[in-house]
Structure 1
Amino acid sequence: MPERTDSESRKLLKRLRDTLAAPGDGQARLDSITHHIADSMGTQVCSIYLFRDPETLELCATEGLRRQAVHQTRLRLGEGLVGRVARTGRAINTANAPAEPGFRYMPETGEEVFPSFLGVPIQRVGEKLGVLVVQSRDARQYSEDEIYGLEVVAMVLAEMAELGAFLGSDAQKSAHRLPVAFRGVTGQEGAAEGQVWLHEPRVVITNPVADDPEKERARLVEAVAMLRQTVDQMVNAADLAGGDGEGVLEAYRMFTRSRSWLRRMEEDIDLGLSAEAAVEKEQSHARAKLESTADPYLRDRLHDLDDLSNRLLRILTGQGQDTGIVMPANPILVARNIGPAELLEYGRGLRGVVLEEGSVGSHAAIVARSLAIPLVIHAARITDEALNGDPILVDGDTGVVHLRPEDTVAAAFRDKIAMHAEAQKRYAGLRDLPATATCGTTVSLLMNAGLMADLPSLEGSGAEGVGLFRTELQFLIRTRVPRRSELAALYRRVMDNARGKPVIFRTLDIGSDKVLPYMKRIDEPNPAMGWRAIRVGLEKRGVLQMQLQALIRAAEGRDLHVMFPFIADCDEYHESRAMLLAQLEREAALGHAPPTSVRIGAMLETPSLAFAPDAFFRECDFISIGGNDLKQFFFAADRENERVRKRYDTLSVPFLNLVEMIVRRCAALGVPLSFCGEDAGRPVEAAVMAALGLTTLSMRPASIGPVKALLRRTDLRALRALIDDKRESGATNLRPAVTRFLAEG
């Protein structure tokens, strides 16, 4: 087969462009495309396989194979050579296809007389659309130039698919108009109805093929120059003054000056792509590598390249974030992912958030809880389907999102929201009443916080104080380490807004899924059990000391409560406590007014601490059970892993036995104990904890009303008797019995 010249490649791409513009249905376009590709490349076969669902490929058009196989031949993802190309995102080039591992013979196609095989993925910015295949009778491997040329053609096919070229006229009209449901994962409970607001509106390329390579090269060079200028300004404005963060941004800036990056895009332009299509082809290549590499450093660098490609595309197309569309009155933010600072910029105006990525403990999830808005994560491919202004329903309770819902679905959803609003009115009437059970036991309900925006909820929710103030959020939303004076001013405002109610400040809890933007990410096989929380603080002592100094200065003349996170060994607490006491002495020597009193506590988040010596418990002024981490370590079930986390129930007898043991130890030694975490805010779980003797619970503000309502109508002594009876009878999980008891009470 003759080598194709650049001009021949451009001729083929122009034919494909003409095919896109010509009238006709999707099948006619596909048939025409396979004919043009086979003719241009001098092959006997050209076939297009497209995904019909995420796991199934279908032969949708062919030149050279038997026509009756079209829409009949199907392959599972990973099955046969075509399935392997789709699964790996990498080309397969062989002179003897039947001898290749995994080859699947499909007799209905008649392909057995074509031993040579070249398959390349049809993909667009991480989205796998199908596979493009050419085959020949002569047993030969295709050249590097031929592979590269076919990849360029596949790129154009991906853009044509994005524009709906293969849907047919009727289906094309209905694209982005039909109802779609996405099943994700709950990041924050709640329900919301609104309209889509895309965090980064998708760039649509309408001109994948260009006639004038020189003009496209010039456009690309000009756009890259603008990109470099923008990134330079961003790096200079960051003012990181050395450290890991500066190195990360400098590496980011270096990418913009990568000669090989620019050269690859120029080569694509020479073959006939527009500047935009060349950038997106390179971006798709980076995304494919991003998905396949396990090296965290390489993943970060490829992510940088992906982000730069997005910026470059917006410069070339003019489709910036400011698209001229006005944000709707009831916006639901939809994004692949989002940082805490960006989410905070939107503020409480958002009705809800839907992300394709993220985690239940991510920065975005923490901010969403602070803003009291529902969040669904892992809603796969929603950014591909959603358009600005689309009606959308977010059910944070079940993790389901309805895009462009049918009327019956919307009506049922509105009923749910109305019932929730009515319940909130009832809870508001309980705001000033104590959480006293019918047996006379009173439970203290505190709230979790992390932002100044949380503090108005302290009064409105009826919380008796802040059981956990997450100090890491102020570090996560900045591009540099906050100054001591900034932190002291913030902590002072928090105490002012608490109006005399206690605020327990948890020192910096970073690591695992909370990585500071200016701190180098550590490569760890299991970050949740690695270098995080107090382990970071005791190693980077300067940051922890600075934070403690800020807390002491903010509390002048007031009570100060400090809690150290993730204590797994008594020595960690001794060292942390000694550091705080040393800073108190230092601040007094400098003439700063001391707090009226200082109470120092620890978060019990690891099973090891539950078995610490009595001396440790006596040394603590208070202890708070961190239920989220304690449960995942107790069950050895990562709470970010949907496959395992839901298998382990808080109301399982072994876990409740551990909690009860901690309650008894603290009671015997006179140590105040609280329970903090998601389970504290779930009414059924909260009632069980209270029945076991936990009389202080800390939760998100919106949970205080429902928990208080249930506690006020529950006899905790009778519930405790039920718990003991079921344990004695050998029950392994108390949820069915407890749920029945509370429903009948």
Structure 2
Amino acid sequence: MVELSESDSRTLLRRLRDTLATEGDGQDRLNHITQIIADSMGTEVCSIYLFRDPETLELCATEGLKAEAVHHTRMRLGEGLVGRVARSGRPINSADAPSEPGFRYMPETGEEIYSSFVGVPIQRVGEKLGVLVVQSKDERSFSDDELYGLEVVAMVLAEMTELGAFTGGENSEIGATHRFPVMFRGATGQEGAAEGRVWLHEPRVVVTNPVAEDPEAEAARLEEAITELRGKIDEMLASPTLIDKDQRQVLETFKMLAASKGWKRRMLEDITAGLSAEAAVEKEQNAARDRMRKAPDPYLRERLNDLDDLSNRLLRQLTGQGSDTGAEMPENPVLVARNIGPAELLDYDRKLKGVVLEEGSVGSHAAIVTRALSIPLVIHAGRITAEALNGDPILVDGDQGVVHLRPEESVAHAFRDKIAMQAEAQKRYASLRDQPAMDKSGQTVSLMMNAGLMADLPSLKGSGADGVGLFRTELQFLTRTKVPRRNELVQLYKRVMDAADGKRVNFRTLDIGSDKVVPYMKPQDEPNPAMGWRALRVGLDKPGILRMQLQALLRAADGRPTSIMFPFIALPEEFYAARDTLLRVRDREAQMGRPVPEELRIGAMLETPSLGFAPDSFYRDCDFISIGGNDLKQFFFAADRENERVRRRYDTLDGSFLNFLERIIARCAVSDTQLSFCGEDAGRPIESLTFAALGIRTLSMRPASIGPVKHLIRRADLGELRQVIQQARNAGQSSVRPAVTSYLAHL
């Protein structure tokens, strides 16, 4: 094998660039590229394997192996040495390939005469595209310089793949990006369905010039961009508006990394080898992401993540492809992002038809905001930011947690039928807006709505809700870089009560922690945050914030009836401590001559099974109890609602869970304590009807669910359904869902 000098490396890269510019289809280019690499490297074999689908690699071009094997030889991810390179994202360099663990002999290729093997991944910013392989008859390990040369070539191949250089021809689907229909199966963050066009929150940077002619000019461009980037970081650090400690810490880390000599040296070495400044930055970014993936230390992973973000900033500076690309937001935009903060999401206001995230969680900031905006959200849609382009048609099925990007017409047609049916149903439900949720026997269920933004309140009248069963107060804390001022909260809460126009609003005090971490509080890095320092536990440990919020609520009421409930209580003592704080705040307000509510209702959210076994005195001392179904269900079944493997395994209508609910219903009846059910299941018609039949007479849900739930209650007889449920349980059925569904089918 021939050692490549710096000039040889640049010559090879120029030949690859010239191939990119030639006429012909993608297969011709691939064939020519393998010939060029084998010739330049002095090896008998060069092969390019690309992903046909996320789990399958296909031999797409070769110089040296049998031509008939091209587009016929395939392997699964992890299979053989090529599959191992693809899975791990790390090179394999072996003098005796057949003796390597996991070696797979493929007789159709004729590779049995070749001993030496080097495989390097073809990847772009964490996205796996394929594997580049060279082989030789001689038994020898390739040098570090040779391996580095192949990695540089693989980098250029990744950029060529992104630019569509290998599409077209008989096997045009191989290596093609941004062209074909793709389905992403994620998880439901917020229910609903939407059709629209992709709007990328952070458009991906496309390197159109991976190879450069003049290394000195590229090095100068890189130096200039780094100097400019450092200047911008210094400006932000000197800004008087930067008062957030965590934000300052991130910028200080950026400043330190931007001054790293090793970081710059590695990129300058890549430029010397023939890469453009942009391609050198992206190569270093790929390396950082690979190291980040393997790092066991959380602190090191965080620093590598900072380096990844810094590389992104430098790339945007070099290419001019900033977040503001000049592109116009399409009609019916669907936001696509890796992740997004609540303030950024709220900046889009109500323009968005839907949101799709690669990360996120069902309790995250984004999920809370999308619920408030009543737009569908799909989370955990892996790789969608790498595949989607601004303006691509997209279908978001929040009910199923599925996204169709560039859908086939048959899929789009069926999806539009679904949306049309939902719209028609909503029209029918609108006619029930002013009608009570009364069953055939005359029993009435109060249907309340959940809210968290002022923007929600117009839905109060339009949905026919009897009031606000849950107003989430944390959104005003999550969307700011510092604790909101008391007067700001007073004005907000006052506007909420004014908009409710006398209807009841249950204000839930600050529910942060777990995956709802405010920017100005240091993350606790807890092993199990859902069961950690969150909600009322934070309020009791930081009484100043709790008192400030309670003062704001009482002052906003200005003497009007007020309902306040405390979240995530595990022991009665926590409720009593919070209630005492509220009563002391009320008495202090009265002493200062301020009006206090003529009626102050103090409630608790029952979200932990322990409260089901609290003393009778606790139930008597609560003015009302709201079952927080989302948390209660995950703790009852010990099934993390963020984990798709287990969260769908357990049915809300399971007999054991209903037994537990009946225990709470009975205890509230004895103490004459008003009981409601709040959560996702309250807005699902079958579940809500079952809860009502068991005796829960207040349900709180998203506004869009009130119509379907009311429609079903008005068709049913809750007494009859109660008997059906009891018969199913007496018969030993583990879940009453089949029995309830059968009953409804005969209405």
Q: Is the 8 A contact 2:244 2:482 kept in 1?
A: no
Corresponding residue of 2:12: 12
CA–CA distance in structure 2, aligned partners of residues 581 and 313 of structure 1: 56
CA RMSD of aligned residues (A): 2.3
How far apart are 1:98 and its partner, in Å?
3.1
Corresponding residue of 1:61: 61
Corresponding residue of 1:724: 726
Corresponding residue of 1:151: 151
How far apart are 1:97 and its partner, in Å?
2.7
Listed as ranges, the matches of 1:444-593 within 5 Å are: 444-593=446-595
Mean CA deviation greater in 524-533 or 689-698: 524-533
1:467 counterpart SS class? strand
How far apart are 1:131 and its partner, in Å?
1.2
CA–CA distance in structure 2, aligned partners of residues 711 and 412 of structure 1: 29
CA–CA distance in structure 2, aligned partners of residues 700 and 300 of structure 1: 36
Corresponding residue of 1:138: 138
**CA offset digits 1:308-336 (Å, max 9, x no partner):** 22222222112223222222232222222
CA–CA distance in structure 2, aligned partners of residues 508 and 55 of structure 1: 44
- Alignment of 1:427 onto 2:401: no
CA–CA distance in structure 1, aligned partners of residues 592 and 266 of structure 2: 61
2:448 counterpart SS class? strand
How far apart are 1:118 and its partner, in Å?
2.3
Ranges in structure 2 where 5+ consecutive residues have no aligned partner = none
Corresponding residue of 1:384: 386
The letter for the 2-side match of 1:48 is I
The letter for the 1-side match of 2:601 is R
Q: Is the 8 A contact 1:122 1:129 kept in 2?
A: yes
The letter for the 2-side match of 1:53 is D
Corresponding residue of 1:711: 713
Corresponding residue of 2:102: 102
CA–CA distance in structure 2, aligned partners of residues 521 and 259 of structure 1: 31
How far apart are 1:10 and its partner, in Å?
1.0
CA–CA distance in structure 2, aligned partners of residues 141 and 178 of structure 1: 40
TM-score (norm 1): 0.95
CA–CA distance in structure 2, aligned partners of residues 360 and 122 of structure 1: 34
- Distance change (3 Å), C-alpha of 1:634 and 1:312: same
- Alignment of 1:623 onto 2:636: no
Q: Is the 8 A contact 1:224 1:256 kept in 2?
A: yes
- Distance change (3 Å), C-alpha of 1:252 and 1:428: farther
- Distance change (3 Å), C-alpha of 1:267 and 1:519: farther
Corresponding residue of 1:92: 92
Mean CA deviation greater in 704-713 or 172-181: 172-181
**CA offset digits 1:190-216 (Å, max 9, x no partner):** 222222222222222111000111211
Corresponding residue of 2:264: 262
Pick aligned residue for 1:212 from 188, 211, 214: 214
How far apart are 1:391 and its partner, in Å?
2.6
**CA offset digits 1:225-255 (Å, max 9, x no partner):** 3333444444555846464454344334433
How far apart are 1:457 and its partner, in Å?
0.9
CA–CA distance in structure 2, aligned partners of residues 387 and 426 of structure 1: 37
How far apart are 1:708 and its partner, in Å?
0.9
- Alignment of 1:696 onto 2:693: no
1:71 counterpart SS class? coil
TM-score (norm 2): 0.95
Q: Is the 8 A contact 1:179 1:405 kept in 2?
A: yes
Equivalent residue pairs, number: 745
- Distance change (3 Å), C-alpha of 1:184 and 1:557: same
CA–CA distance in structure 2, aligned partners of residues 117 and 521 of structure 1: 46
Q: Is the 8 A contact 1:240 1:479 kept in 2?
A: no
CA–CA distance in structure 2, aligned partners of residues 698 and 191 of structure 1: 21
How far apart are 1:17 and its partner, in Å?
0.6
How far apart are 1:54 and its partner, in Å?
0.9
- Alignment of 1:297 onto 2:299: yes
How far apart are 1:590 and its partner, in Å?
4.5
How far apart are 1:16 and its partner, in Å?
0.8
How far apart are 1:101 and its partner, in Å?
2.6
Q: Is the 8 A contact 1:548 1:580 kept in 2?
A: yes
Corresponding residue of 1:393: 395
Q: Is the 8 A contact 2:81 2:104 kept in 1?
A: yes
Q: Is the 8 A contact 2:536 2:569 kept in 1?
A: yes
2:130 counterpart SS class? strand
The letter for the 1-side match of 2:53 is D
2:52 counterpart SS class? strand
Q: Percent identity?
A: 71
- Distance change (3 Å), C-alpha of 1:536 and 1:253: farther
Mean CA deviation greater in 373-382 or 422-431: 373-382
The letter for the 2-side match of 1:720 is R
CA–CA distance in structure 2, aligned partners of residues 641 and 395 of structure 1: 19
Corresponding residue of 2:34: 34
Q: Is the 8 A contact 2:244 2:520 kept in 1?
A: no
1:120 counterpart SS class? strand
CA–CA distance in structure 1, aligned partners of residues 303 and 167 of structure 2: 36
Q: Is the 8 A contact 2:507 2:565 kept in 1?
A: yes
**CA offset digits 1:474-518 (Å, max 9, x no partner):** 121122222222222222222222222221121222222212223
Q: Is the 8 A contact 1:623 1:674 kept in 2?
A: yes
- Distance change (3 Å), C-alpha of 1:261 and 1:495: farther
How far apart are 1:652 and its partner, in Å?
1.1
Q: Is the 8 A contact 2:450 2:700 kept in 1?
A: yes
The letter for the 1-side match of 2:448 is L
- Distance change (3 Å), C-alpha of 1:511 and 1:297: farther
Q: Is the 8 A contact 1:374 1:395 kept in 2?
A: yes
2:511 counterpart SS class? coil
- Alignment of 1:613 onto 2:615: yes
Listed as ranges, the matches of 1:165-244 within 5 Å are: 165-168=165-168, 176-235=178-237, 239=241, 241=243, 243-244=245-246
Corresponding residue of 1:594: 596
- Distance change (3 Å), C-alpha of 1:552 and 1:263: farther
Q: Is the 8 A contact 2:343 2:479 kept in 1?
A: yes
**CA offset digits 1:562-620 (Å, max 9, x no partner):** 22211122222222223323333444445543333322222111111111122222222
How far apart are 1:293 and its partner, in Å?
4.0
**CA offset digits 1:122-168 (Å, max 9, x no partner):** 10112101111223333333333222222111110100111111223
CA–CA distance in structure 2, aligned partners of residues 281 and 705 of structure 1: 54
- Distance change (3 Å), C-alpha of 1:264 and 1:554: farther
Corresponding residue of 2:283: 281
CA–CA distance in structure 1, aligned partners of residues 295 and 240 of structure 2: 30
Q: Is the 8 A contact 1:198 1:388 kept in 2?
A: yes
**CA offset digits 1:540-565 (Å, max 9, x no partner):** 33333332232233223122322221
Corresponding residue of 2:122: 122
